[in-house]
Amino acid sequence: MTLMDRLYSHIPGFPDASLRRPLTLTDIALVILFYYVHAVMAMLHGTFWFRVALLPFTLWLAWSSAVSLDVAQYLADAVGVPVDPLRIAHMNFIWLLAMWVVALKSFEWTLIIEKPIRRYEIPKEGEPPRERPLTVANTFFDAADLLFNLRGLGWSWSSEPFPPNPGPPPSIPRQFLELLVKVTAFDTAHYLVQLICPSASCLEGGTIFDATLNPVPRLLHVTCISFCAMIVIYSSVEVMYHVCALFGQILLGQSAVQWPRIANRPWMSTSVTEFWGRRWHQFFRHLFVVYGSRPGRKIAGWYGSIMGAYFISAIMHVWGLWGLGRGTEFIHTGGFFIMIGFASVLERKWKLWTGKDVTGVPGALWAAIWQLIWGSRMVDAWARRGVIANEFLPKEMRIGKTLVDIVLTVVARVGTT
């Protein structure tokens, strides 16, 4: 454990992760019940004081569930075969983000919204959105949708409840094909990191900065790892979204229109602002706006709104890092998002000084280099906590690993002939 890790371990509110107990189904049911009641009340008139009375219990449940429950240990016990919980510690990261969402959305539904929120019917082309009738059945099902709807699709609280699709919705077979491709990309990138950086591929973790290499090879080494890490993050979000979209369409009978693409080819970005503002996934955008951008704008105008949003993002990722059970830190993990906000400020200044946007090939290079400089430090913080050694997929599903091994075998045989 580094000096910074020791310091952070003494911060109030970050208890010893080793004291967490395995999660139970009762724990999940209790959190969801309180969260669901908040969702129902947020849709109804005259429920303000009921929500106020309920909020402390919901926030306490979310907090205590986050810091005292070990999802990885529960899953390891439930599988029935020997699995080291540290190899699936990323499930605790996901659990902490879920509890973060429960707390922030419940708080918003209680003290921030000014009127009951409504779900819209899917509008026909050229027609404005129309509220769904507030029947008992609609309220029951719409509240369930509200629990998991982070982007505001189809809801009055979103600035764009029905975002335009650039093309026709993809078919079910095409979505399955895209899911397969992205699972393969995810596993390939993860396996390449394990091959490139074996010292960080153990449960104890390790740095991605190899001190035995000269500066240029070390830079190339870190660049390859950071690039693969970006693919892992991007494809993991895409995979989860595809799975949810297919579940909703096949089992719940939803339309593909209700599942617009979660990202817009982030590799085409020609500025940092474009990457994070329009092309990266927007899962948590609403929460960043409510808790960071709006308060920040009141304090420091446009600059405050930008830095406020990225500050909340930084806190969220630092919080999630603690879930891995190896302490947390802000300088590199949170600092990455602060520097992304700073880059957005610089790009705005550039436009004010020159009258031109950051764009084109120079903008793409600038965005890539800036994010590599600060992103590599964040990747290193996670690598030092053993996340590279995590088993994200069962061995039978590691398509990417199989393909890489085949390629390496062929190359080795060709090299010996």
Residue segments in the chain with a per-residue pLDDT below the cut of 50: 3-4, 8, 10
Q: What is the pLDDT of residue 80?
A: 63
At 195, list the tokens: 């091959």
Q: What is the pLDDT of residue 398?
A: 92
Q: What is the pLDDT of residue 169?
A: 78
Instruction: Please report, as a single letter, which amino acid is at residue 204.
Output: E
Q: What is the pLDDT of residues 121-137, one digit of tens each?
A: 988 877 888 999 999 99
At 63, list the tokens: 């907090």
Q: What is the pLDDT of residue 415?
A: 76
Instruction: Please report, as a single letter, which amino acid is at residue 341.
Output: G
Q: What is the pLDDT of residue 288?
A: 96
**Spatial distance between the Cα atoms of 167 and 186, rounded to a whole number of angstroms:** 25
3-state secondary structure at position 130: strand
From residue 301, how far is each of 34, 277, 278, 295 by CA, in Å?
A: 36, 18, 21, 9
| pTM recorded for the entire structure | 0.91
Q: What is the pLDDT of residue 126?
A: 74
**Spatial distance between the Cα atoms of 3 and 328, rounded to a whole number of angstroms:** 11
Which residue ranges make up each domain of the chain? 17-123+130-159
Q: What is the pLDDT of residue 136?
A: 94
